Structure 1
Amino acid sequence: MSMARALLLRACRSTCSSAAALQDRFQDNLCRSSLRALCSLATASSEPASAEPFPDTATPGLIPGHADSAGTAQYAQRIGSKAGPGHFRQFRAGGQLGDLVVSSLGIGTFGGSETEEVDRDYIKTITKGFEVGINFIDTASNYRSMRSELAVGRSLAKAIEQGIVKRNEVVVCTKGGFLSYDYRESVEPHTFIEEKYVKAGLFQWEEFVGGVHCLSTPFIMHQLEMSRRNLGLETIDIYFVHNPEMELSIVARQTVLSRLRNVFAALEQAVKDGKISRYGVSTWNAFKVTSGSKNYISCEEMVNFAKEAAGSDNHHFKAIMVPFNLFLQDVANNPVQNIRGRRLPLLHAAAHLNLNVVASSPLYQGSLVKGIAKEAKDKFPELGDSRTDAQCALQFSRTTPGVMTTVTGMSKLAHLEENAAIIECPATVRS
């Protein structure tokens, strides 16, 4: 760890609570969101009908195309001098896809209540984000009982219609793995799972782990199709397998790895079918814990699965998502990934494996939006004298070597305006 980053870490320790407690809280929130949604199936929604309802997920007519080299480069050129040096980066894709140009800051959609008001807030935020220099959007089928995916789709469709962006300028990511509940449905939970998933052949009860998660190939493919409809997109740019490590605490390792191998094969086929452009793995613990941990997953092994699935080195496993922030720096410092016989931190390992790293939780679930020590804030003079704690935390993440894009939740326009203010500042990678 560099001296500067060691100082930053020490400066933050006094303002953050236990790392383990915060990690557990995030994992609990993610699982509870699925459980809450499942329990809500028994109660019909009391929310009044929206004046502008979301389209039904079965509505045909998906937006064609996907993010590509020319479009994303054109977007960066149009933003031009409004973005500081280093804000736009090359997302390594290779092959026929070509590299993408992506913003160093992305919009996440995990937080917020399951209401139309929050939907509208996200639409405003995402639309404004497109205007100020953000072309990377992250969501998941289980976020806010599908409402987040629907809001992203609605935002992009409107932005395209209004001429704010073109489809090939924006990178849209989503995830599958957790049970997704459609907020418009109302049915008894056991009946919902039995009828919609088990009897439909999407998974067996023994494949439904912890009451919230599943890696059966039919289930993941079903979730992918559902996400395409929710987003209204013919092709999803990056499809992440969502937190596969949570099954490792309950299911035998070889069983979980076998499921992942099968899912990768199906995702390679989805690329051929034009349903996704590339895929990845989104984790919380898997890539930063030691190999002796139950939750450990080897990046190198995942790449080998992808090569096997593609039948060559020309695979489409191109991204991983990991938590990284001022307080939680494991992926930059802990040499736990074994790459060709060498033990390296995740960020170094990803570079060797040609994987793009998306950093999540840069504000550590809100713990870094206030109270950062002056010693830490002084490390970011490029942000100006009025820099906020949140801006410093985001700058730390996006200027760390090996981080492609930093995604943070922005459900409020005020959050977007504060966070996006750093776009005009230099984002030169630090040592």
Structure 2
Amino acid sequence: MNFATVEGTFSYIKKFPKYSKDFYNFNGDFFVSSIGLGTFRKEPYKEENYLSQINFYKSTKTALQNGINFIDTASVYRYQESEKEIGKALNEMIKNGEIIRENFVISSKAGFIPLEFPFPNNPYEWIYKNIIKNYLAKKEEIVADQHCMNPKFLEWSLNNSLKNLNIEGIDIFFLHNPEFQLGYVKRDIVIERIKESFKFFEQMVEKKKIKYYGIASWNAFLYEENHLEYLNLKEMIDIAKSVGGEKHHFKYIQTPFNIAKPHMFNYVNQMDEDGKYYTLHQVAKKYGINIINSSSLLQMNLFKSKFNKKIKKLTNTLELNNIITALQFARSNGSLTTLFGSVNPEHIKDNLILSYIPLAKKENMLNLLVGE
């Protein structure tokens, strides 16, 4: 089996009967933990990001051994090293019989040119040799020497990810920050490139290399409508329908959500087919698009000042640290899972206190987010 399944993920969560029922979510495709392991690290060029102790191998094993069965990565994260470390852990755990492929959900991304570690002396030469010379993209299709949506490049990136991860299929494959190109390329060209990307993803679904696809963005779905890098979710769904029909496989988006950046839930900026504006959360829910919360801790920038006591009270985390409060806040908004990054297995175990805590009540979240 290439992917996570309902039966496989259900058998996985049954191993943790003491956990709160709120710790797992079911979306019709699989059961997943309400917090998931993210594998992004800032400033990937820093040598310290590649020291032996900075490694997602142990984190992946710790997460999967303790009830977290959603792992998110990207080929560009630490120049493919994050994927490789995950792959090593998965290979060992499957070989040892600790897990089976059907137990866990894994997502990865393509769009940015990943290069590889150790960082090449001349990245432009690396791009020419590996991308342009191999006819994966023309020079003009590579934006700012970083981003590309040519289907041939995306296929190369996907195959690299599968190899790095030691698996045959990726459950959710994201087009990584397509809005990046809007600062350099005309909007109609970018929209056409997104369409061609979606067409390619549908082909990969048929070939059983991916199960579903989506868009992982930073602010694209959260900006005001007239912003240069704005994307409309309904337009993305219509593109998916145009290439995949009503049964298209565009089912996921990944976007930031945290205490300092709650826009997805309370900022009305997404126009729907009725001409009215709604929040991203409302439009996604209407069309059955699953949301994965990224940047739940705002890359640890949330903790530069004390948390409002009201937040801790309404999230039922008065006696707990601010990291738990932030994760509790983020995972209580109705999204499928909330990502956090950690290379320290002990921090993962610390965060698992959430497995015993019910989600914040809906009325409490509305109080915090929209002042009701």
Given candidates 76, 79, 97, the residue that maps to 2:16 is 79
Given candidates 400, 413, 426, the residue that maps to 2:345 is 413
The yes-or-no answer on 1:394 pairing with 2:331 is: no
What letter matches 2:91 in structure 1? A
Deviations 1:201-258 (A, max 9, x none): 1111111112211111211111111111111111011100101111111110000000
CA contact (8 A) 1:271 1:277 kept: yes
Per mean C-alpha deviation after superposition, the further-off stretch among 335-344 and 256-265 is: 335-344
Cross-structure match for 2:272: 339
Deviations 1:302-326 (A, max 9, x none): 111111211x211111100000000
Give ranges in structure 2 of 5+ residues lacking alignment. Answer: 43-47, 364-372
What letter matches 1:87 in structure 2? F
SS of equivalent residue, structure 1 residue 260:
helix
Cross-structure match for 1:380: 315
The yes-or-no answer on 1:144 pairing with 2:81 is: no
Counterparts of 1:75 and 1:429, CA distance in 2: 26
Deviations 1:357-402 (A, max 9, x none): 0000111110224632333222232x462x000000000010113x
Question: TM-score if structure 2 supplies the norm length?
Answer: 0.92
Deviations 1:153-206 (A, max 9, x none): 111112222232211010011011111112157453232111211121111111
SS of equivalent residue, structure 2 residue 167:
coil
Cross-structure match for 2:368: none
Given candidates 303, 319, 322, the residue that maps to 2:255 is 322
The yes-or-no answer on 1:217 pairing with 2:217 is: no
Seen in structure 2, the aligned counterparts of structure 1 residues 157 and 116 have a Cα distance that, compared at 3 Å, is farther
Counterparts of 2:339 and 2:299, CA distance in 1: 12
Alignment of 1:142-291 (within 5 A): 142-184=76-118, 186=120, 188-291=122-225
CA contact (8 A) 2:107 2:170 kept: yes
SS of equivalent residue, structure 2 residue 359:
coil
CA contact (8 A) 2:309 2:318 kept: no
CA contact (8 A) 1:86 1:428 kept: no
Counterparts of 1:156 and 1:384, CA distance in 2: 36
The yes-or-no answer on 1:100 pairing with 2:30 is: yes
Counterparts of 1:376 and 1:176, CA distance in 2: 36
Counterparts of 2:17 and 2:74, CA distance in 1: 30
Count of residues in Structure 1 that have an aligned counterpart in Structure 2? 356
Compute the displacement of 1:115 (Å).
Answer: 1.8
Compute the displacement of 1:140 (Å).
Answer: 0.5
Per mean C-alpha deviation after superposition, the further-off stretch among 167-176 and 202-211 is: 202-211
Counterparts of 1:279 and 1:216, CA distance in 2: 16
Give ranges in structure 1 of 5+ residues lacking alignment. Answer: 1-63, 93-98
Compute the displacement of 1:428 (Å).
Answer: 5.4
Question: TM-score if structure 1 supplies the norm length?
Answer: 0.79
SS of equivalent residue, structure 2 residue 156:
helix
Counterparts of 1:390 and 1:333, CA distance in 2: 22
Counterparts of 1:211 and 1:423, CA distance in 2: 43
CA contact (8 A) 2:150 2:193 kept: yes
**Aligned-residue identity in percent:** 31
CA contact (8 A) 1:111 1:411 kept: no
Deviations 1:380-429 (A, max 9, x none): 32x462x000000000010113x111001111123212212211211255
Seen in structure 2, the aligned counterparts of structure 1 residues 384 and 329 have a Cα distance that, compared at 3 Å, is closer
The yes-or-no answer on 1:299 pairing with 2:236 is: no
CA contact (8 A) 1:142 1:178 kept: yes
Given candidates 29, 39, 62, the residue that maps to 1:128 is 62
Deviations 1:14-51 (A, max 9, x none): xxxxxxxxxxxxxxxxxxxxxxxxxxxxxxxxxxxxxx
What letter matches 1:103 in structure 2? S
Counterparts of 1:369 and 1:170, CA distance in 2: 31
Deviations 1:270-305 (A, max 9, x none): 000011111110001111112211111111111111
Compute the displacement of 1:133 (Å).
Answer: 1.2
CA contact (8 A) 1:288 1:296 kept: yes
Counterparts of 1:185 and 1:333, CA distance in 2: 41
Cross-structure match for 2:369: none
Counterparts of 1:186 and 1:246, CA distance in 2: 23
Given candidates 17, 23, 27, the residue that maps to 1:91 is 27
CA contact (8 A) 2:315 2:359 kept: no
Seen in structure 2, the aligned counterparts of structure 1 residues 373 and 429 have a Cα distance that, compared at 3 Å, is closer
SS of equivalent residue, structure 2 residue 80:
helix
Counterparts of 1:420 and 1:136, CA distance in 2: 14
Counterparts of 2:53 and 2:74, CA distance in 1: 16
Deviations 1:57-108 (A, max 9, x none): xxxxxxx521011101111122222x2121111124xxxxxx2111100000
Cross-structure match for 2:370: none
The RMSD of aligned alpha carbons is 1.6
CA contact (8 A) 2:172 2:214 kept: yes
